[in-house]
Structure formats: C-alpha cells, structure tokens
Amino acid sequence: MELVHVSSPRTLISVIICTRNRAGDLKESLESFRGVALPGCQDVELVLVNNGSIDQTAEIIASYDCEGISVRPVHEPQTGKGNAYNAGLAAARGSVFLFADDDIRFPRHWLAEMSAPILAGEADAVAGGVRMAAHLERPWMKSTHRLWMAETDSLSPSNFDMIGANMSFASHVLSKVPAFDPELGPGATGLGEDTLFSSQLVKAGYRVKLLQDVLVEHHFHPGRLTRAAFLSRAEAMGRSLGYIAYHWSHKTIRFPGLRFIKSRIRLELYRKLHKQVDLHCEGADMAELERFSGFHFYRQFLREQRRPRNYEPFGLVKRKVN
C-alpha cells in the first residue's frame, strides 16, 4: 500500500504595527524588520495601521516591501491607539497576532520566538521584553524611571502585564476579549490600553507567558526624558488607572473628593519643600511623579463617576452605553 504524505497547513502570523505622525521612526523600524528571519513553517503578513497621520507616514507605508512577507496598509482616521489596534485586528487574517511599536529595533528571531509558545499550545499570549537603546541610557535613571520608559527588566513571571511594544496572542482569545478599549492609550487617556487587555486575558482564563529574553530595542525620542515629558506620562498614568479603577475594577473609594483634595495638597507641599529642575531638563524626581500621578488618578476617578460604568466588574466586553 502506497503511503500518501499530506503536508500540514501553514500557519499565518500577522504582525501589527500602528503609527501616527512618526514617519522617521517608522522608516527606521521597518528597515530593522527586514532583518527578522522568517519562520520555516509559517507565512507572515505585516499590517501597517496609519492612525490619521499628516506627515509622510502614508508614503512610507505605500512604498514599503519586504521579501517573503505580504504588506497590508490600513488607514484608521479615528485617532487613538485603541482604535488603531482594533483596526489592525479587524484587518489581520492570521491565527497569531504579533504587536510592535513604530520606534523599535527587532532581534533576528523575533517572529519565531514570540509565536513559538502559542503555536506549541503552551500559552495563549506572550509578553516580550523591551530595553531602551544604549544612547538613551542616563546615570540618573532608577529602576522606576526605566519601567516608565517601558523597560521590562524589573518584571517577574508573577507580576507583569503585556506591553504593546512587544506582545503576541492567539486569534482565538478574541472570542472572549474582542477588542482594546479606545478610551485608553495614546490619543485618549494616554496609557493603559495594553494593560487592561492583558488583565482581561488573565481574567478570561487565558495563559499569558513572560519572555523577557526576547528583547526589542526601544529608540524613543530623547525629548521623552525631560521632566515635562515625565510629568505628562505621570498624568497619563493617573488618568488611565483612574479610568480602569472605576469602569473595570469597580473600585470603591470612600470620600474620593476629599482624597483628591489631599492629593493636591501633598503635591503642592512637596513642591514647596523640594527644589524642582527646569521642565526642559532631563530627569524627574519619582516622589514628585508619584504624587502627580496620584492627583490625576483621583481627578479622573471623580470625572468617571459621573458616567455609567463601561464594564461589568472585571468584565471582558465593553458595554454599549447610550
């Protein structure tokens, strides 16, 4: 009897990169992507989401090609990273989705390593590692500064969230957690769209694996190291956590108005007792940033209290609120 060998169907991996008005960064990241090795048993598509850019982003996307990879441009005019992510998910056809930011450099075996635990059935999602480029290192940086710049060195298998700069998940998770919340992240509260999605995956019972050694290199603009930029990030963090605490965690806070006033007094008192560096100088005192973030947490929580909650307690699907 003659044996007939039937080849197994090839898996499609969808790489999703969302971008807005960072044409130069995107160009460098896409050049880096050319050096990524293609997995032997999988096909790859690259979904490039232009989130309403008005610079040369559209031209860069239109002219980009990469040998062995299908490049699919997507235009999402509604600004906000959550909207861009959701547009990328809607366009992607793969069974595994890999996400990267538009200002990173890729390791050679990124595709294979970030998809392997999912394809092997060992995990439903993967949180990869992020480190800042060497030219952005500063002597004054502490571990918290690095964490705020998306570095993952301080994360542990028992305490981590997925970070959008380097994450992946199986398409089947969308059956329970169908979308990113567009009210979070850049273009909205400023942060948290990946944090909430990661928490929802865990609540849904999916297995999320940390792979810190699969590192992408973060080449953000040096202007993000100024005190003004750190304060902006602290505000975004406070606002995002305030939104999540009210709408998703259904956190109970007694006398939130009083806590808001106390947080403002703590911030003002700290600033009176401590000399602050110029807003345009690099570096920021974490004690000030934590107080500033706390102030904006309570401020946002009070704002959100005026609205119906967007989720059931720890819910997986956002309510349609009229």
pLDDT in tens, 153-171: 999 999 999 999 999 999 9
Residue 277: per-residue pLDDT: 83
pLDDT-derived band of residue 9, with 50, 70 and 90 as boundaries? low
* pLDDT above 70: percentage of residues in the chain: 97
Residue 4: per-residue pLDDT: 41
Tokens of 308: 């119906």
Average pLDDT of the chain is 95
SS3 267: helix
Q: Is residue 10's pLDDT more than 90?
A: no
Q: Is residue 2's pLDDT more than 60?
A: no
Domains and CATH numbers, the chain: 11-222 (3.90.550.10), 226-304 (no CATH)
Tokens of 48: 């490039």
For 2-124, where are the alpha helices, taking DSSP H only? 23-33, 57-63, 81-91, 110-119
Cβ-based neighbour number of residue 293 at 10 Å:
24
Virtual torsion, Cα 285, 286, 288, 291, nearest 10 deg: 180
Smallest CA-to-CA distance from 231 within 299, 295, 143 is with: 295
Q: Is residue 3's pLDDT more than 60?
A: no
Smallest CA-to-CA distance from 247 within 202, 200, 288 is with: 200
Report the range of poorest mean pLDDT among 2-6, 195-199, 221-225, 302-306.
Answer: 2-6
Q: Which residues pair with 218 in a beta bridge?
A: 104, 132
Cα 258 from chain centroid? 32
Report the range of poorest mean pLDDT among 3-12, 81-90, 157-166.
Answer: 3-12
What count of Cα atoms within 13 Å lies in the side-chain half-sphere of residue 255? 5
pLDDT-derived band of residue 23, with 50, 70 and 90 as boundaries? very high
Average pLDDT (28-38) is: 97
pLDDT in tens, 283-301: 999 999 999 999 999 999 9
Q: Is residue 152's pLDDT more than 90?
A: yes
Query: Sign of torsion, CA 49 42 115 103?
Result: negative
Q: Is residue 275's pLDDT more than 70?
A: yes
Query: Sign of torsion, CA 25 26 32 37?
Result: positive
